[in-house]
Structure 1
């Protein structure tokens, strides 16, 4: 099932969030577990319900989390129920070293159960593995980094209040839209005739609607300008009927060189706004040509400097190694 992702606690998907703490009722509280959940921008716009399948520890129902028959669990005599042993070793007169290690008799549990009295279902471990499916509701308008918490759904253990499972939303990059809070941004390419004479185009929104954008003739679109469509942004979290705005940045595509004959170009110039007045040219002014610039080849000054350096190297090369000019 595509909407179900599974996890066995102790693997690499879930991460622990801090150590044990105390709950409000004074009981020890288990560790929380965090998992990243990748969602698309469509999921955050429309909302989505998916499923989380997990395998977690639950208290054994056969022994009620005791590990064996009533009274079968005894405090470990070797460590006195502490789960660790403390050894003191003398290093020199007046100097001792204290060492702490996990008790080997109870494996750090602080309790021991006779083999014959152990619960057959959990084998004295007090907990068993159980598969559970949680429904994850991604609400409309949720954002990247927002958390969805399942209270008390982490591992269970005797005498410990289970921690939470926390899902951290991670928004995937979208090919058409970029999100900024409750607003959306997109870029659209138009031709020069559209920029000058008006246009109409259609795009598919995040909920599948076909949106028709119209711009009237006579209103000019400048290259790089931004126009806004009110109310077509992201829905607000917990108030989905209120939406942000959609901002459209226009990339105006100009025609190729020599796309029209000189005669037609003159006719076009008569239709366009008049040129600015040409200032009086001084008699001794120098006329230069404006050429296309290729940024990959560097500036002209750099090329001239390179040519100068090459010629200098060639001239110096005629002297040969070790040859110096004599001074008179």
Structure 2
């Protein structure tokens, strides 16, 4: 692995220098906290032990180099003012830190050993039907717990305040001797009560988190709604759930559901349903109407014959986008015929004559 690292480092040196902020997906105004968070997320995503895609290891090295510079106030200032060339002059030929050692130091242990995973957060997320039709980017916030910025999850005021537990000698367990019979004892292991099984004790707690190791945080996310996204589709934000020094953060999972449309549209998979109300004259004589679709385009509703109450007209290709395909389902328009509450004597006479004429013509046939 180390030989691979030096080979990739050589390639990175020969290649044109990338914008270190863009490598971490950050703006130049990013805070130290933003830089640590970006490195944590991206380094886990592209770590070669987890990501076997081509180019992942090279990306991992690039991320480590960007973090090495931007997390150091002096190097960051030089880079912001003079760019890559100024940084090279400052370093005077110094070697970059090994990205795997950096990763190990940041997470307090090897990636492979950090196997315990924290709980994921699963929640329902309602969106407008129009957003599912057209696609949308929706910002939202999640309250969660993150590692304390001050102590980086140790719970101590400083590294010097962390000491090996004298009770268990740093093993996290102690031997317990229990008498079974006179002269006979059984020996078993129990979690050390003084250090809670961690093997370390804290002399002075972190003033920022009070020794809790984590603090409350409101995280901002963006949900990308894909046109035609299925009902109940799960969108996963990997590693964005509650953080803890005792586990790898779980995921934030959103189950996307469509909010009931107040305009009258209904959806079933790739089909759309609409109810259109017409009068008795339109039901008998036909009509032309315009229906404004979810994205604002106009759909023409045309009937030339008699339209029975409850008749359903199928309009091909005007339904929902079919998820993952460049195609659309169908639109089904159900017609509701409204009869007048009362009619005038003149109208009654004309209708009677019309129906009488129609009946006579039918009898002659």
| Shorter-normalised TM range | 0.5 to 0.7
Pairwise CA distance, 1:152: 0.5
Aligned to 1:307: none
Residue 236 in 1 paired to residue 322 in 2? yes
C-alpha contact (below 8 Å) 2:170/2:200 kept by paired residues: no
Aligned to 1:40: 128
C-alpha contact (below 8 Å) 1:49/1:138 kept by paired residues: yes
Q: Output the CA distance in 1 between the equivalents of 2:273 and 2:231.
A: 16
Bigger-Rg structure (1/2): 1
Structure 1: gaps (5+ residues) = 1-22, 91-100, 278-328
Residue 183 in 1 paired to residue 271 in 2? yes
- What does residue range 80-91 of structure 1 map to in structure 2 within 5 Å? none
TM-score (norm 1): 0.61
- What does residue range 1-328 of structure 1 map to in structure 2 within 5 Å? 25=112, 27-68=115-156, 69=159, 72-75=162-165, 77=167, 105-106=194-195, 108=196, 110-116=198-204, 118-175=205-262, 176-216=264-304, 219-239=305-325, 241-256=326-341, 259-261=344-346, 263-272=349-358, 274=360
Relative distance call for 1:191 and 1:64 in structure 2 (3 A) is closer
More helix by share: 2
C-alpha contact (below 8 Å) 1:79/1:110 kept by paired residues: no
Q: Output the CA distance in 2 between the equivalents of 1:87 and 1:267.
A: 110
TM-score (norm 2): 0.56
Structure 2: gaps (5+ residues) = 1-48, 51-111, 181-189
Q: Secondary structure at the match of 1:236?
A: coil
Q: Output the CA distance in 1 between the equivalents of 2:173 and 2:242.
A: 21
- Provide Cα deviations, 1:183-210, integer angstroms capped at 9, x if missing partner: 0111111122212211022222111223
C-alpha contact (below 8 Å) 1:59/1:127 kept by paired residues: yes
CA RMSD of aligned residues (A): 3.7
Pairs aligned (count): 242
More strand by share: 1
Relative distance call for 1:198 and 1:265 in structure 2 (3 A) is closer
More RCO (CA 8 Å, sep 6+): 1
Q: Output the CA distance in 1 between the equivalents of 2:191 and 2:277.
A: 68
